[in-house]
Structure 1
């Protein structure tokens, strides 16, 4: 009992340190930007990353009638992989329904949502042929939709699927030969910002977008993802750690640019 309490205190101190680092980084290092009229595609590895990372941005663009699409790369089936009592196929359906409901709250119609169905947790393990096919899929989407901006997870965002989503989208943008601006949004990095590489090019180009006017829409959208923050079967802890969602109730969203 004493050991558990000791480690809990250490964990709490580390999380507090993370929050302090994050606030310093947000208010001292970032540059303020405003919402714009540029058409966009938001690429998300999993159903919820899009709302966590840039739900406010999505809502602002939708309020202004800006063309915007959301693309989910993986099927989300592996979030409870260690629990055989949870059917992966049912979880895929649940997470798709949650994503549609969340994005409806932000103003995105079902016709602008794409589910590519790649293996959850397996983007970094795609064969060379599968990777090429995925990049080509993304290139086709870019050429069809002609976005001026794309939003992708931060390229060092801890989770392998997040890192690989960045790599796949970056490859597709280059292959498309379209003049697209790439903005990276942190997800897990906001939970553990002490893992940031403060020497990276991206962290010299940090931007904050105020989302005060749409924060309630973002919170409502996040509430749709019940499979991630609440117990879907009695006795099984939610996949997201306590307090994780609250990290994204900030009045700002953060983006990195490579240059």
Structure 2
């Protein structure tokens, strides 16, 4: 286990999240640590997570997308990140794997412009079972980054997989001590209220973060993995 400074050094941090809440769950502690060190933090949301509650007459996709953006900005505020440092690409929830070549190139160009040289760029792990998380990792890995940019992956849903379903070759990574920043991380996770079943009660299909899953992110460490 290492201190955040050992990973961040004096570099800017960019976190790429497929959906609002992935950044808080997977790397809320590291984001808060970076801000405590006065390091620049940029967070890019590839989608608005607008398909988390399908079939709600009171929360159609457009309204939900707008609200989830507000939740994301509020969550980042809990971590010390200004709203101006949040970027929303609106690429389509559950549709990242289906982006055509032109859309991918546009997204990759945007990501490249947001990262200064020597930035640490973190994206969801390719071992996450969610297709958007896997597509995000593949998208980021092919960006024409500036000199010195380092890519690392952060697991979110990987923790729910059986060991037998993970790659046979051990993954290489590092555990980061974020105990000092857990109160900020908890507040950031709580800010994503739609994902806790607090706002929407009439959806035909509703996604809710259950307590057992959330308990995994109350630990005093976060994990970063080097791409395979």
Q: Which residue of 2 aligns with 1:179?
A: 148
Q: Are 1:92 and 2:65 counterparts?
A: yes
Q: Are 1:166 and 2:133 counterparts?
A: no
**Structure-1-length-normalised TM-score:** 0.80
Q: Are 1:35 and 2:8 counterparts?
A: no
Q: Which residue of 1 aligns with 2:188?
A: 221
Higher helix share: 1
Aligned counterpart in structure 1 of residue 111 of structure 2, from 120, 138, 141: 138
CA spacing shift, 1:160–1:34, aligned 2, 3 Å: same
Query: Relative to structure 2, which stretch is displaced further, 234-243 or 119-128?
Result: 234-243
- Root-mean-square deviation (Å): 1.9
Preserved CA contact (<8 Å) 1:153 1:187? yes
Instruction: Output one character per residue of 1:39-68: Cα deviation in whole Å (capped at 9) or x when no partner.
Output: 110110000000100000000010110111
The structure number with the bigger radius of gyration is 1
Instruction: Output one character per residue of 1:119-157: Cα deviation in whole Å (capped at 9) or x when no partner.
Output: 111111111211122112222222xx3352111100121
Preserved CA contact (<8 Å) 2:3 2:178? no
Q: Which residue of 2 aligns with 1:50?
A: 23
* Aligned mates of 1:55, 1:149 — CA distance in 2: 15
Q: Which residue of 2 aligns with 1:111?
A: 84
* Aligned mates of 2:202, 2:64 — CA distance in 1: 17
CA spacing shift, 1:82–1:195, aligned 2, 3 Å: farther
The runs of 5 or more residues in structure 1 that have no matched partner are: 1-31
Instruction: Output one character per residue of 1:214-251: Cα deviation in whole Å (capped at 9) or x when no partner.
Output: 10110011110110012423365553234222210111
Q: Are 1:154 and 2:153 counterparts?
A: no
Instruction: Output one character per residue of 1:87-143: Cα deviation in whole Å (capped at 9) or x when no partner.
Output: 11110111111111111010000111111111111111111211122112222222x
Kindly tell me the number of residue pairs found equivalent between the two proteins: 222
Aligned counterpart in structure 2 of residue 72 of structure 1, from 36, 40, 45: 45
The runs of 5 or more residues in structure 2 that have no matched partner are: none
Preserved CA contact (<8 Å) 2:52 2:207? no
CA spacing shift, 1:234–1:131, aligned 2, 3 Å: closer
* Aligned mates of 1:83, 1:193 — CA distance in 2: 33
Preserved CA contact (<8 Å) 1:189 1:196? no
Instruction: Output one character per residue of 1:161-193: Cα deviation in whole Å (capped at 9) or x when no partner.
Output: 101111111111xx2352111111000112335
Query: Relative to structure 2, which stretch is displaced further, 110-119 or 177-186?
Result: 177-186
Aligned counterpart in structure 2 of residue 256 of structure 1, from 209, 225, 228: 225
Preserved CA contact (<8 Å) 2:117 2:148? no
* Aligned mates of 1:195, 1:116 — CA distance in 2: 35
**Structure-2-length-normalised TM-score:** 0.90
